[in-house]
Amino acid sequence: MKTDNKNKTLPISSFLNDGQSSFAALYKKANSFQEIDRNLKKLLDPTLKDKFELANINADTAILLTSSSAWATRLRYNIPAILNIFNKQLNFTSITTIRIKIKKSVSDNSVLIKKPIYLSNNSAQFLNDVANNFNDPELRKCILNISKNRLK
């Protein structure tokens, strides 16, 4: 909420519609991208419409976000059609490049916890015996370290 000179609160809509506000310009740009995104999805292959979103338009590049590498590949195969739609049907004649990026989901930020892999006691003993037959001290040390990962 923004306040006026008399410390009265004003609705957010007045802040977003204020022509002098940088937030208003950002809000207008976001709404514009949403509209372009909807129109692009209407004109593109229906199987792709829920698999991407328009992220940005720079001078000559449109950036699309998708959730997986598989959908990124499908979108890349459709770049000529996407460019055609931008240039001829949406009147973005300056766009010459389509970039496809994979967006990370919230769950991608979690750290993967790797379970340790343990050797059976027989396998650990075998590696131990093999290591003791090597002349190279570095290699013997590495194999002995591996052999220590046995089930307890």
Q: Same domain, yes or no, for 87 and 104? A: yes
Q: Is residue 79 part of a domain?
A: yes
- For the chain, the average pLDDT equals 83
Q: Same domain, yes or no, for 61 and 76? A: yes
128: exposed, middle or buried (C-beta count within 10 Å: 0-12, 13-18, 19+)?
middle
**In this predicted structure, what is the pLDDT of residue 101?**
94
Q: Same domain, yes or no, for 96 and 56? A: yes
Average pLDDT in the 57-84 region? Answer: 94
Identify the H or E element spanning 122.
Answer: helix 121-131
Domain that holds residue 127: 114-152
Q: Same domain, yes or no, for 144 and 87? A: no
The model carries a pTM of 0.59
**Residue length of the chain:** 152
pLDDT digits (tens, 9 = 90+) for 96-107: 999 999 987 655
pLDDT digits (tens, 9 = 90+) for 14-30: 766 777 767 778 888 88
Q: Same domain, yes or no, for 51 and 103? A: yes
Evaluate if residue 68 carries a pLDDT over 70. yes
**In this predicted structure, what is the pLDDT of residue 113?**
65
